[in-house]
Amino acid sequence: MADDKKQNLENKPELPQAPPPEEKKNNLPNFLLSVELKYVKLGYHYLVSNALYLILLPLLGMILTHLSTLDVERTLLELWNHLGSNFIITILGLASAVFVLTAFSMSRPRKVFLVDFACYKPDPSQKSSKENSLKIASMTGYFSEESMDFQRKILERAGYGQMTYAPKGLLKLPQDWSMAEALRETDEVMFGAIDELLSKTGVKPRDIGILVVNSSLFNPTPSLSARVVNRYKLRGNILSFSLGGMGCSAGIISIDLAKDLLQVHPNTYALVVSTENITRNAYHGDNKHMLVANSLFRVGGAAILLSNRPLDRFRSKYQLSRVVRTHKGADDKSFNSVMQQEDENKQMGVYLSKELMIVAGEALKTNISTLGPLVLPFSEQLLFLASLIGKKIFKMNIKPYVPDFKLAFEHFCLHAGGRAVLDELEKHLDLPPYLMEPSRMTLYRFGNTSSSSVWYELAYSEAKGRVKRGDRVWQIGLGSGFKCNSAVWEAIRTINPAKERNPWMEEIHEFPVDVPRKTPIVY
């Protein structure tokens, strides 16, 4: 029996032994290491960002200590007597100082304020689910079975929901893509957004001195800006512009143009309208490169009111900080990546090349390399410079340092051109799901509304109550040419969602929703 007991003890599995203290120390959990690194980086960022203050504080203390030993009353009396004995010189000095300050003040750029903006929300009858869109496309008879299967795959992977909006002319059979129907669609979008904006701001049409309208693919005569002037009876000396053929990044180009005009025309408002027309640009062929765009675009538009009036600061939402524009049109691959053209059967459409995502990534890198030094904290610029010197000069085998733009911005509004576009931007900027949420939810709810998508995204953040005073917003637009444009805004006040009117308010409690990731389509 004793032998059996001894045998059982021998066969009993050994309990795992606790590692020695040294081994525990060398095998910290990964998440603890990441937390340690996070706080080391935050400490470094705080130290470098406040280095100037840390240097000046001791110097200021020394100056105050020295001043405390002086007879202040006697010193001021001697100074007054000196000025009194040189009265003419004193007057000339004061006049010169006033002149220099006045010239400096007048030479500074005028501040541009975003008073408010409005995004158009189409009638519920224009909602079109994926199944309904495919059903109508199939019933038109324009597409082969292979093309229908391709469009089905696009809709499954595009990141769209079931409530995006299609134009009325394309929701009926037979479809109506006439000029009259296209004008009807554009008028509803533009005037709907402008009516909402004027109602929100209380600005009278006659006070608007600058008008910029952008629509890439639809440019009738008279121009779209002329249609706005006629509808609202804007004044005869208004500066009006219609921007065409500039792709989905034209919205930020319009902001930049309005900003420049506000620098030379004081005390006025600028109205910017960003939209795109779907009715007139539907593709009715089987070229897969052109079917992609046919399945992506949806109805939408935005109207934005800018001002250079100093008093408007107290009622405005944002102040424009920066606009950085990048144009890669000199490169043939970039230029040809998005092209409106006819297919082999003379059907008009928008051609998207296979290299589009590569082109977009290169344009984004160029744009952020220009914007980075203007917005990033000095600590991030120092790390980037050290990485660059180590790689280029000392030939060190290290990866280039990717600046952390989360230290420069609280909100990211990235052009919702499609799931692949957002995936590319997310990868290059290393953004977490929380910061990608406005862009992905806009794509899910409204689809690709072209140049106006960045405004639906900002409206989403406002409806969620996330925009606080002092927050910085980065809008990125990507478009044909190929162009990548950035606009940076600073929130002047905290946005109270209870007082907001935007297309998200009635359903914001339903978001965010989970959008499954899909593999990209190869064509």
Residues that are catalytic: 248, 327, 411, 415, 448
Instruction: Tell me the C-alpha distance between 295 and 133, whole Å.
Output: 9
**481 close to 247: Cβ distance less than 8 angstroms:** yes
Candidates 481, 479, 478, 450; CA nearest to 336 is 481
Alpha carbons 348 and 217: distance in angstroms, whole number: 11
SS3 20: coil
Question: Do residues 345 and 147 make contact, with C-beta atoms less than 8 angstroms apart?
Answer: no
Q: Which of 508, 476, 246, 459 is nearest to 360 (CA)?
A: 476
Quick check: 361 and 344 in contact, CB under 8 A? Answer: no
Does residue 426 sit in helix, strand or coil?
helix
Q: DSSP letters along 429-454, please?
A: HT--HHHHHHHHHHHHHH-B-GGGHH
Residue 504 to residue 511: CA distance in whole angstroms = 9
Q: CA 114 to CA 315: how far, in whole Å?
A: 9
Structure tokens at 409: 């911005």
C-alpha 449 chain-centroid distance? 14
